[in-house]
């Protein structure tokens, strides 16, 4: 039998051209689906979560042993349709349910996929019905670091080292003094390696350069190590009894994976190795750690975060702000019938900013606490454009949505405000919706369920 729910998806709205997020960013989007007929839905939820996971297997004789570890960074769930609130009968047709979250602030590792592990951040929508299999949909987010290396003195510190090697089976010695301008670089940048070499030996020598990556996966005390060479360069021959200063430029590929140094079970590290190739002798070598950060965002993309309250985050939301009096064409034709702000009632009757109601709504405005304020909805109904004489002269000043501001300036649905420059109302919503990015392919063994 064909399903009566079609095209069940969850998508998010990109906030920049690179389609990336950082810790503390807001994530807005929509759960959409189409109903062939009226349908009773037990619950509809969307979840934002982040985790790291490691898995690999090893052969020990005839035995195969698996190593597995998982870290959960956060899991934030929002109920769009509350379970047990009325019959939850949703009429047929296309449905669009907006949501918004805030990624927790903090030192979160960036998104990553490797041979034996991954760090993923995802949205997951779940629709539950009685006696039927749940409908699920996922969308993966790409999380990156957003750090200006100029603000971190450690990352801006120059690196230098000296290696002195006495020759075997012959006289003389070789000295190599190498300098790199700093530790951290952005994707696509070039690393300038300056080496002062003294060849006080009877042999010709040749400098060589290697830029490589190591991926480490940990399960308790067990470690799985992978090494990948990114770039190798060979310099010109340095004759005996000469002391040149040579410069070599190593370019970081723009799609190189950023460094991961803040995850307990996955580490991605980079090093530059400089060594001298000397026949019949141990090669002197120097290694420098390199930190790779994602390429900087364009200036117009910085600080382009919406200002809206996000399900208990205490912020504000342009797309869901109480008091909105205009909507996009898509919103006007797809006002969802679902609980708003955890009220467990239909959005049709409580939609922030609504300026019209059905005849039934006009004659039957319920009296119940709104937004946890403990006051009657009759006096604070979102979208109301008129008040009783008592209300007009006695508008209470109390905190709304956890903002700690007066209700006079943020009253849901009000179309006039006090003569106060701060009471200008919410800003306009984003002009368009985007779609979720496709999660990159991975050969992560085991393919664990998220």
Q: Which tens digit of pLDDT belongs to each residue from 85-117?
A: 667 888 888 999 999 999 999 899 999 999 999
pLDDT value of position 131: 82
| Of 103 and 345, more confident | 103
Does residue 45 form part of some domain? yes
Does residue 133 form part of some domain? yes
* Total structural domains within the chain: 3
- The verdict on 188 and 289 lying in the same domain is yes
Does residue 224 form part of some domain? yes
pLDDT value of position 116: 96
pLDDT digit string, tens, across residues 138-194? 999 999 987 788 888 999 999 999 998 887 766 788 999 999 999 999 999 999 999
Strand 159-166 vs strand 135-141: parallel, antiparallel, or unpaired? unpaired
Angstrom distance (rounded) from CA 54 to CA 75: 19
Angstrom distance (rounded) from CA 439 to CA 435: 12
Looking at residue 26, which CATH number applies to its domain? Answer: 2.60.40.640
Q: CA of 42: how far to CAs of 72, 84, 259, in Å?
A: 28, 7, 44
pLDDT surpasses 90 at 224: yes
Instruction: Look over the chain and give the mean of its residue pLDDT values, rounded to a whole number.
Output: 74
Range scoring the smallest mean pLDDT among 62-71, 166-175, 198-207? 166-175
- The verdict on 271 and 303 lying in the same domain is no
Whether 262 contacts 200, CB under 8 Å: no
pLDDT surpasses 90 at 228: yes
pLDDT value of position 151: 84
What would the mean pLDDT of 261-277 be, rounded to a whole number? Answer: 95
pLDDT value of position 409: 37
Q: What is the domain extent for residue 365?
A: 334-419
| Of 229 and 170, more confident | 229
Nearest CA-CA partner of 337 in 130, 81, 129:
81
Whether 352 contacts 320, CB under 8 Å: yes
pLDDT value of position 3: 64
Q: Say if residue 429 is exposed, middle or buried (CB neighbours under 10 Å; 0-12, 13-18, 19+).
A: buried
- The verdict on 157 and 124 lying in the same domain is no
Angstrom distance (rounded) from CA 415 to CA 423: 11
Whether 118 contacts 442, CB under 8 Å: yes
Q: Give percent of the chain above pLDDT 70.
A: 64
The winner for highest mean pLDDT among 126-140, 292-306, 333-347, 423-437 is 126-140
Can you tell me which residue has the tokens 């490691």?
A: 54
Nearest CA-CA partner of 101 in 194, 19, 1, 26:
26
Per-residue HEC secondary structure of the chain comes to: CCCCEEEEEEEECCCCCCCCECCCCEEEEEEEEEECCCEECCEEEEEEEEEEEEEEEEEECCEEEEEEEEEEEEEEEEEEECCCCCCCEECCEEEEEEEEEECCCCCCCCCEECCCEEEEEEEEEEEECCCCCCEEEEEEECECCCCCHHHCCCCCCCEEEEEEEECCCCCEEEEEEEEECCCEEECCCEEEEEEEEEEEECCCEEEEEEEEEEEEEEECCEEEEEEEEEEEEECCCECCCECCEEEEEEECCCCCCCCECCCCCEEEEEEEEEEEECCCCCCCEEEEEEEEECCCCCHHHCCCCCCCCCCCCCCCCCCCCCCCCCCCHHHHHCCCCCCCCCCCCCHHHHCCCCCCCCHHHHHCCCCCECCCCCCEHHHHCCCCCCCCHHHHHCCCCCCCCCCCCCHHHHCCCCCCCCCCCCCCCCCCCCCCCCCCCCCCCCCCCCCCCC
- The verdict on 233 and 359 lying in the same domain is no
Range scoring the smallest mean pLDDT among 47-51, 270-274, 305-309? 305-309
pLDDT surpasses 60 at 256: yes
pLDDT surpasses 60 at 432: no
- The verdict on 265 and 308 lying in the same domain is no
pLDDT surpasses 80 at 14: yes
Does residue 263 form part of some domain? yes
- The verdict on 277 and 178 lying in the same domain is yes
- The verdict on 307 and 438 lying in the same domain is yes
- The verdict on 210 and 255 lying in the same domain is yes
- The verdict on 397 and 433 lying in the same domain is no
- The verdict on 83 and 213 lying in the same domain is no
pLDDT surpasses 70 at 213: yes
pLDDT surpasses 60 at 380: no
What would the mean pLDDT of 122-135 be, rounded to a whole number? Answer: 91
Does residue 316 form part of some domain? yes
pLDDT value of position 441: 38
Cα-Cα-Cα-Cα dihedral sign, residues 338, 340, 345, 350 = negative
pLDDT surpasses 50 at 225: yes
Does residue 328 form part of some domain? no
Angstrom distance (rounded) from CA 434 to CA 16: 10
Does residue 415 form part of some domain? yes
Does residue 329 form part of some domain? no
- Domain endpoint, select from 244, 275, 293: 293
Q: Give percent of the chain above pLDDT 90.
A: 49
- The verdict on 307 and 442 lying in the same domain is yes
What would the mean pLDDT of 376-404 be, rounded to a whole number? Answer: 42
The residues, any chain, with a CB within 8 Å of residue 240's CB and separated by 6 or more, are 172, 199, 201, 202, 203, 204
pLDDT value of position 8: 93
Whether 307 contacts 316, CB under 8 Å: yes
pLDDT surpasses 60 at 253: yes
- The verdict on 253 and 196 lying in the same domain is yes
| Of 293 and 414, more confident | 293
């Amino acid at each position: 039998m064909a399903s009566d729910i079609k095209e069940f998806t969850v998508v998010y709205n990109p906030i920049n051209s690179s389609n990336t997020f950082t810790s503390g960013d807001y994530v807005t989007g929509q759960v959409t689906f189409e109903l062939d007929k009226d349908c009773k839905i037990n619950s509809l939820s969307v979840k934002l979560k982040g985790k790291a996971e490691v898995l690999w297997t090893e052969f020990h004789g005839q035995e195969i042993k698996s190593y597995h570890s998982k870290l959960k960074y956060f899991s934030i769930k929002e109920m769009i349709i509350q379970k047990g609130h009325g019959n939850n009968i949703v009429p047929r047709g296309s449905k669009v349910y907006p949501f918004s979250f805030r990624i927790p602030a903090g030192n979160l590792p960036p998104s990553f996929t490797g041979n034996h592990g991954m760090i993923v951040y995802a949205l997951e929508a779940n629709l539950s019905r009685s006696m039927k299999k749940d409908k699920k949909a996922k969308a993966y987010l790409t999380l990156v670091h957003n750090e200006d290396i100029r603000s971190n003195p450690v990352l801006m510190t120059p690196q230098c080292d000296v290696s002195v090697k006495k020759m075997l089976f012959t006289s003389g010695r070789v000295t190599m003094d190498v300098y790199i301008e700093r530790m951290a670089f952005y994707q696509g940048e070039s690393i300038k390696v300056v080496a002062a070499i003294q060849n006080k030996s009877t042999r010709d020598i040749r400098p060589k350069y290697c830029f490589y990556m190591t991926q480490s996966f940990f399960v308790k005390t067990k470690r799985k190590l992978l090494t990948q060479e990114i770039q190798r360069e060979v310099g010109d021959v340095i004759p005996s009894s000469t002391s040149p200063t040579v410069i070599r430029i190593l370019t970081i590929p723009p799609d190189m994976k950023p460094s991961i140094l803040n995850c307990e079970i996955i580490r991605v590290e980079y090093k530059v190795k400089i060594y001298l190739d000397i026949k019949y002798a141990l090669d002197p070598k120097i290694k420098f750690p390199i930190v790779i950060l994602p390429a900087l965002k364009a200036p117009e993309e910085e600080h382009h975060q919406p200002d809206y309250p996000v399900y208990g985050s205490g912020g504000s939301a342009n797309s869901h702000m109480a008091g909105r009096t205009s909507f996009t064409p898509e919103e006007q034709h797809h006002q969802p019938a679902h609980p708003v702000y955890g009220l467990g009632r239909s959005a049709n009757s409580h939609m922030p900013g609504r300026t019209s109601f059905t005849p039934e709504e006009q004659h039957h405005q319920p009296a119940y606490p709104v937004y946890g304020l403990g006051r009657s909805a009759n006096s604070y109904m979102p979208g109301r454009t008129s008040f009783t004489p008592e209300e007009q002269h006695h508008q209470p000043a109390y905190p709304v949505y956890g903002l700690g501001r007066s209700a006079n300036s943020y009253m849901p649905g009000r179309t006039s405000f006090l003569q106060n420059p701060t009471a200008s109302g919410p800003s306009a919503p984003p002009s368009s919706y985007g779609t979720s990015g496709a999660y990159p392919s991975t050969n992560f063994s085991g393919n664990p369920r998220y």
